[in-house]
Amino acid sequence: MTTQRYSIYRPIHKAMRHILFSTSQQVGLTDFGDDADVTEALEAVDRMISLLHEHRENEDRFVHPPAERKIPGITAKFEEDHVQDIALSNEVQGITSEIRKAGGADRMALGIKLHERLNDYIGIYLGHLYREETTMQQALWENFTDEELIAIEMEIVANVPPPVMADLLKVFCSTYSADEIAPILGNIKANAPPEFAQFALQTAEQNLPPRSWEKVKTRLG
């Protein structure tokens, strides 16, 4: 039987894909002649880019330095991806800034432009995620133990600001299986302040599919 190695990318990338696809869907459904629709769509784009930047900065700070020390040169392509990510996200945010100042037919045209450029960005970003899950993950498995990879991930988690963690938790509960979310909630229940632990469990109940929530409740006791 093949032993399943610990994947430092798979869980968080499930959450990232959920954010990418749901934002694309929301922008695609937006009536750019409706102020409320536009406000919600632009907030969704801002949130997506903020979470992707948080994810990128965590990789730059916590994953790439130890990887580079053991595997010199391994991070070069991924650093290039991150530079491209900044350029593309800046372009998308430039369009959202134009939309906030525009009206009428101009705003409608910019809405089409936003949808097209956002999906170009998402398509390129998906390629980056795949390269991390294959090339980078394999290199990490060959040079790090599972315990070392878990320690890196725990360092990332410890440095995520509470408001960002609260936002991510909603995404996790909308994306992760019961097997994936139960340990996270168990750790929060055991170690987080009671107020945040209660928030986490309420978030899970509200966002997990009913059968998954029943499984999680059983495992948490």
Per-residue confidence in pLDDT tens, the chain, 221 aa: 557 899 999 989 999 999 999 999 999 999 999 999 999 999 999 999 999 999 999 999 999 999 999 999 999 999 999 999 999 999 999 999 999 999 899 999 999 999 999 999 999 999 999 999 999 999 999 999 999 999 999 899 888 888 888 888 899 988 999 998 998 888 888 888 889 889 999 999 999 999 999 999 999 88
Of 178, 180, 179, 202, nearest in space to 189 by CA: 202
What tens digit of pLDDT does each residue of 187-219 get?
A: 888 888 889 889 999 999 999 999 999 999 999
Q: How far apart are CA 164 and CA 161, in angstroms?
A: 5
Q: Residue 69 has what pLDDT?
A: 96
Single pTM value for the model: 0.89
**What residues have CB less than 8 Å from 105, skipping those under 6 apart?**
none
What tens digit of pLDDT does each residue of 12-43 get?
A: 999 999 999 999 999 999 999 999 999 999 99
3-state secondary structure of 2: coil
Q: Residue 190 has what pLDDT?
A: 87
Q: How many CA atoms lie within 13 A of 64 on its CB side?
A: 18
What percentage of the chain's residues is helix, strand, coil (to nearest 5)?
85, 0, 15
N residues, the chain = 221
Q: 220 with 189: CB under 8 angstroms?
A: yes
Of 104, 120, 112, 91, nearest in space to 28 by CA: 112
Tokens 């999680």 -> residue: 216
Q: How far apart are CA 109 and CA 103, in angstroms?
A: 10
Domains of the chain: 1-159 (1.20.120.520), 161-221 (no CATH)
Q: Residue 2 has what pLDDT?
A: 58
Q: Residue 188 has what pLDDT?
A: 85
**What residues have CB less than 8 Å from 25, skipping those under 6 apart?**
none
Q: 62 with 77: CB under 8 angstroms?
A: no
